[in-house]
Amino acid sequence: MKILRAILISVLLLLIAAGGFSFWLYRELRRPIAHQQAEQFIEIPRGSSPAETLERLASVGIISRAWPLHLYLRASGAGAQLKAGEYRFPSPISPLGVARKLEEGQQRLNRFTVIEGWTRWDVAAALVRVPEFQLASADEALELMNDTASVKDIDPEAQNLEGYLYPDTYTFPPQTTAPEVIKMMVRRFRQVWREKIAEHAPDAPGQTPRQVVTIASLIETEAKLPEERPLISSVIHNRLRLGIPLGIDSTIIYAAKLAGKWKNDGKVYQSDLDRSSPYNTRNVNGLPPGPLASPGEKSLEAALNPAATDYLYYVREPSRNDGAHNFYSNETDFEKGVQSLRQWERTRDDTSAGNADVGNANVGTVVQP
C-alpha cells in the first residue's frame, strides 16, 4: 500500500513537473525578446543545421537561449523547413516569431533608384556609388549602356540606352551585377511601353517610337509640374509643325556633355549656345537625334497627347517657387514675360541663379566664357 502511494505521488509530481515545464515552455516560446539587432541583417548560411541556426541567433541576442526553440522545432518537425537567407528580426520578437520568419525565408534586397529626367551619365554615376557592382569608373558603367540589342525592335537607330533606362526604384539581391540591373531598367521601360503607351502610338502620325521617346525626354527635362506636361508637349509639337527651332536648353546642355564641355554649374554659356551639334536645338530645326533623358510614364503619355493650344513659348513664373511656367502664343507677350523674369532675377542677391528657365521653350541665363 505504501509502495502504491509512493508511485502515485511520484506520478503526480511528474505530472505537475511536466505541466509546469509545459506552461513555462509555452510562455518562453511566446515571450517577446528585445534586442539590439533590429537594423542589422543576420545571415543564415546555406547548409546550416537548425541547432547551428539557433545558436547563431542566441549569440547575437535575437533569442535568449537556443534549446527551447530547438525542442519545439524537433517536436513539431518544423526544423526541416528553416531557410537560409539574410534576415532582419524586429525588436521585440518571440522565439515563435523567429521560427515563422525562418520558415518563410528572407533575402536582403538592395535598392537602386533612377530619377525621372536622369541622363545615362546620371545613371552611371549612381551605379558607381554602389559598392556591390564593383565598377571602376562611370565610363565603365556607360560602356554597359551601349548594348542596344534589348531595344532594337523598338528603336533600330539606338546607339545607346539613353531614354530607355526607365525611372523607378529597383530591388535586387546583393549578388546582382550592374549589367543585370541595367537589363531590369530596360525591361521596366518595355513593360510600361507595352502596357501603357504602345497601343496609343499609332495615334501619333509620322512619329516613330524613337521620336515619341525623344519628345517625352524633352518634356521630362522641362516640366516641373505634372499638369504642365501636356502644355509643354503642345509647345514642342506646335514649333515642330511650324518649323521653328525648339530652343530647349536641356538639349544644349546635353550637347555640352557629349562634347565633354559641360561645366555642371547650372549655367548655359555662350560657348554652349554656339556649339555645332545636332542636339543644339537653337541652331538646328526639328527634334534632336534621340532621347536625352529617362522619361516616366506621364511624360510618355504627354508626348502622344499634347494639349490643344497655340502656345509657342513658355517662361518661368517668377512669383512661384514650384517651377511653374507662363505660356504664350506670340513673341510680344513672350518678351514681356522674359523681361518680368529678368527684373525678378535682378532683385535677387543670388548670383547662382544659373539657368533661368525661360525662352522659346527654355532660354537660360547666358554667361560669357
Torsion sign (Cα): 200, 206, 209, 215 = negative
What does the CA dihedral 80, 85, 86, 92 come to, rounded to 10 degrees? -20
For 78-81, which contacts have Cβ atoms below 8 Å and span 24 or more sequence positions? 78/103, 79/50
pTM, two decimals, is: 0.76
Instruction: Profile the chain (369 residues) by mean pLDDT over runs of 10 residues.
Output: 66 68 85 92 90 94 93 89 91 95 88 96 96 94 97 96 98 92 97 86 72 97 95 96 94 94 85 92 94 97 95 91 92 90 76 43 40
pLDDT at 93: 96
pLDDT at 128: 96
Alpha helices by DSSP H, the chain: 2-30, 50-59, 67-76, 95-104, 120-128, 138-144, 178-192, 209-222, 229-242, 249-258, 270-274, 297-304, 331-347
pLDDT at 18: 64
Q: Cα(316)–Cα(295) distance, rounded to whole angstroms? A: 21
pLDDT at 359: 41
Q: Cα(315)–Cα(224) distance, rounded to whole angstroms? A: 12
pLDDT at 107: 81
Grouping H, G, I as helix, E, B as strand and the rest as coil, residue 262 is coil
Q: Cα(190)–Cα(161) distance, rounded to whole angstroms? A: 12
Which residues share a beta bridge with 316? 325
pLDDT at 201: 63
Domains of the chain as residue ranges with CATH: 16-104 (3.30.1490.480), 109-203 (no CATH), 206-369 (no CATH)
Give, to the nearest 10 degrees, the angle between helix 178-192 and helix 120-128. 140
pLDDT at 4: 63
Alpha helices by DSSP H, 259-307: 270-274, 297-304
Q: Cα(93)–Cα(102) distance, rounded to whole angstroms? A: 13
pLDDT at 268: 85
Amino acid at 234: S
pLDDT at 356: 41
Beta carbons of 117 and 293 less than 8 angstroms apart: yes
